Amino acid sequence: MAKIVRFNITDVVCESSEEHVDYGVAMSGANLEWAESMGEGIKIGIIDSGIDLYHPDLVGRVKKYRNFTGGDKNDVTDHNGHGTHVAGIMAANKNGRGIVGVAPMASLYVAKAFNKHGMADDLSVAESLKWLIQNKVNIINMSFSSNDVPNYYNGIKEAYDKGIIVVCAAGNNGKFKSRGLGYPAKYPETISVASVDIRGKVSDFSSKNVNADIAAAGVEILSCYPGGRYAKFTGTSMAAPIISGAAAILQRKAKNRLGRFLSPEEMRTVLCMHCEDIEKKGPDNSSGCGVFSFGGLGKKK
C-alpha cells in the first residue's frame, strides 16, 4: 500500500484577498524566471488524493483528470486536502489574490489514486502512471511513500524511458535514521526531494541516510485547500512540488532556447547546478546537492 503522510496542518485560512508568495516559492527564486517562463505548455501529472477543481487559484490549470480509486472515474473530489495543496504549490494561478505557484501557467493532469484516508493500493498508482504516460505529460509529481512495489516501478521506468521527469518526496522518516528514503523516491529513475525550513536547515523529519537529490522548503507551506480555502502543511510532500514547478519552468526554457526538452538526467544535473550547499561541500545524505533556487535564496539567519 502507498500512503500519503500529511505530516502536519498548522492553519486553515478561509480566504486570502491579496496575492501571497509563500516563502517556499520565494526561496526557489521562481519569480526571477517568470518573465521568460511560467511553465506554459508544460504538462505536470499529479498522483495524489484528487483536487478542488473549483478553487479560484486552480481554475484553468487542470486540463484532464481521472479517478482510479473506484466509482465514478470523473469524481476527483479531494476529501484529504493533500492533492489540492500539492497542486497549488506547483501551479496556483498568478491572479492577484490567494497564493501563486512556482509555475503558474503549467497544465495539470490529475490522477486521483488516494482515498480520503490517504491510502492507495498498488494498482491505482500503476494505473495512474499509465494514464499520465498516455497523456504525454512532461513531469510527474509523487508526494507519497510506500514499500518497494514492482507493479508501479515498471510504470516509473517506462516514464523515465519516455523522457518524463519523475519527482518524488523523500519521505518523513528522519527520526528513524535506519530507514532512509522511502519509495518511490529511492528508485534511481526519480528525482528525490528533501525538506528544509525557512532558514534553509534540513527538517528533522526529512528522510536521511540514503542520498536525496535535492532539497526545497517543506515546513509550514501555505497553499490551496478544498473549499476555496488555504492551509499550511508540513512535510517532504510540500517540497517535491516546488521542484516539479521548477522543472516545468526549465522545460519551457529548454524548448524555447534549444528546441527540445531536457532528458531526466539532464534535468537532474541542471537542478543540482542551481543548488546551494547547506552542509558539507558537494552531495550529502540529507539534502543531496543542496537547496534549490534560481537565485536569491534569501535564507533567514
Catalytic residue at 48? yes
CA 84 to chain centre: 11
- Set 48, 121, 197, 284: catalytic member: 48
Catalytic residue at 82? yes
- Set 55, 82, 85, 274: catalytic member: 82
- Set 237, 244, 287, 293: catalytic member: 237
Catalytic residue at 237? yes
Query: Would you name the residues annotated as active-site residues?
Result: 48, 82, 237
